[in-house]
């Protein structure tokens, strides 16, 4: 834990997934002021076209930073970061931290040499993801599976809706049914929504595996790039939505449970 870090961080995702990153940042540096933003008007990102996201992300990032005025902007979303990290950096004049699949640590961890990667369809098809695999896991077999259904199941579970264990089993079955799937011993949770259902995923794999995510690494990187002159910046707890909070009752309630209680709507002109 790093007690003496002050400043204001805005953690951003399409929906609830980035809350899993926000909590890692808060655990590492409790004195930081952490606010949250969800692009609820454009959720989910996982099945959107690259063109649509490339247009959306710099636009929404700039609007959010103008409104919330953080010292650091954290894109707590693999689908967005693997596509448009540079585009977002180009429109902001503060440090931007991205989230990319934890392929490197997973490759170091596997004993069988077979890794599974669970993500959105967008993250699975990205050149960025292929490059990470080439750079850090060229000696390892990586089996990828993209699912928007799992993103929705994560939001439903976080909201307290009951989902059958069979649904979790089926949603990750394609990983284990692929060639080599029997030997998977490590799974990369390459979508920030998935730590919300880590327990359900762990309970429904056909054999024991270790789940790896990027949350703690992002928290450490956020502190690394925090400008030195960042001062005490309040207690945080704001949550910015890009659609009417009245129509986002589940999201508002889950954000509240994570400590983001001061709900604001980002108005679009
Ligand atoms: N949480 C996001 C990620 O890490 C994606 C969720 C979505 O499809 O909107 O990829």
Domains, the chain, ordered by start: 8-99+216-265 (3.40.50.1860), 103-213 (3.40.50.1860)
Determine the distance separating the centroid of ligand 1 and the alpha carbon of 80, expressed in angstroms: 8
What is the pLDDT, as a whole number, of residue 269?
Answer: 61
The average pLDDT across 106-128 equals 98
Ligand 1 atom 2 nearest Cα: 77
Separation of 196 CA from ligand 1 center, angstroms? Answer: 12
What does the pLDDT average to over 41-69? Answer: 97
Query: What is the structure's pLDDT at 237?
Result: 95
pLDDT at residue 18 greater than cutoff 70: yes
Whether pLDDT at 256 is above 80: yes
| Strand order from edge to edge, sheet including 186-189 | 141-146, 114-119, 186-189, 210-212
Reported as a single tens digit per residue, the pLDDT across 153-167 is: 999 999 999 999 999
78 touches ligand 1 (CB under 6 Å): yes
3-state secondary structure the chain: CCCCCCCEEEEEECCCCCHHHHHHHHHHCCCCEEEEEECHHHCCCCCCCHHHHHHHHHHHHHHHHHHHCCCEEEECCHHHHHHHHHHHHHHCCCCEECCCCCHHHHHHHCCCCEEEEEECHHHHHCHHHHHHHHHHCCCCEEEEEECHHHHHHHHHHHCCCCCCHHHHHHHHHHHHHCCCHHHCCEEEECCCCHHHHHHHHHHCCCCCCEEECCHHHHHHHHHHHCCCCCCCCCCCCEEEECCCHHHCHHHHHHHHHCCCCEEEECCCC
pLDDT tens by residue, 61-102: 999 999 999 999 999 999 999 999 999 999 999 999 999 999
Residue 238 phi, psi (nearest 5): -80, 150
Residue identified by tokens 């008007």 is 41
Pocket test for ligand 1, best of 48, 57, 76, 78 (most atoms within 8 A of CB): 78
Tell me: cis bond preceding 44? Omega within 30 of 0 counts: yes
pLDDT digits (tens, 9 = 90+) for 203-241: 999 999 999 999 999 999 999 999 987 777 778 999 999
> Per the confidence metrics, is the pTM higher than 0.85?
yes
**Any atom of ligand 1 within 6 Å of the Cβ of 193:** yes
Does residue 2 carry a pLDDT above 80?
A: no
Instruction: Give the pLDDT score at 268.
Output: 67
Triad 36, 156, 182: Cα angle to 5°: 105
Q: Does 120 sit in the ligand 1 pocket, CB within 6 Å?
A: yes
Opening angle at CA 221, ends 216 and 227, nearest 5: 140
Close Cβ partners of 256 (under 8 Å, ≥ 6 residues apart)? none
Q: How far, in Å, CA of 188 to CA of 195, rounded?
A: 10
Ligand 1 site, residue 258, Cβ cutoff 6 A: no
Share of the chain above pLDDT 70, in %: 98
The average confidence (pLDDT) of the chain is 96
Find out whether 120 and 44 touch, Cβ atoms under 8 Å.
yes
Give CA separation, 122 vs 48, 80, 107, 137, in Å.
7, 9, 22, 20
């Amino acid at each position: 834990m790093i007690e003496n870090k002050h400043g204001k961080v805005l953690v951003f995702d399409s929906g609830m997934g980035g809350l899993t990153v926000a909590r890692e940042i808060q655990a590492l540096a409790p004195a930081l002021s952490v606010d949250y933003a969800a692009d609820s008007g454009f959720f989910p990102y996982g099945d959107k076209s690259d063109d649509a996201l490339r247009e959306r992300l710099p636009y929404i990032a700039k609007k959010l930073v103008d409104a919330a005025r953080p010292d650091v902007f954290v894109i707590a979303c693999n689908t967005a970061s693997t596509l448009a990290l540079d585009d977002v950096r180009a429109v902001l004049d503060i440090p931007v931290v991205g989230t990319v699949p934890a392929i490197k640590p997973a490759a170091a961890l596997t004993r069988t040499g077979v890794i599974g990667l669970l993500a959105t369809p967008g993250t699975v098809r990205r050149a960025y993801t292929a490059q990470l695999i080439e750079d850090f896991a060229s000696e390892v077999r990586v089996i990828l599976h993209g699912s928007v259904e799992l993103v929705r199941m994560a939001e439903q579970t976080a909201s307290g809706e009951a989902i059958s264990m069979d649904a979790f089993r089926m949603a990750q079955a394609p990983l284990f049914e692929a060639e080599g799937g029997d030997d998977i011993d490590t799974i990369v949770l390459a979508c920030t929504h998935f730590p919300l259902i880590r327990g359900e995923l762990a309970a429904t794999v056909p054999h024991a595996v270790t789940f790896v995510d990027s949350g703690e690494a992002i928290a450490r990187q956020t502190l690394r790039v925090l400008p030195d002159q960042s001062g005490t910046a309040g207690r945080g707890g704001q949550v910015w939505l890009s659609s009417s909070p009245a129509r986002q009752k589940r999201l508002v309630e889950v954000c509240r449970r994570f400590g983001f209680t001061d709900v604001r709507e980002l108005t679009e002109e």
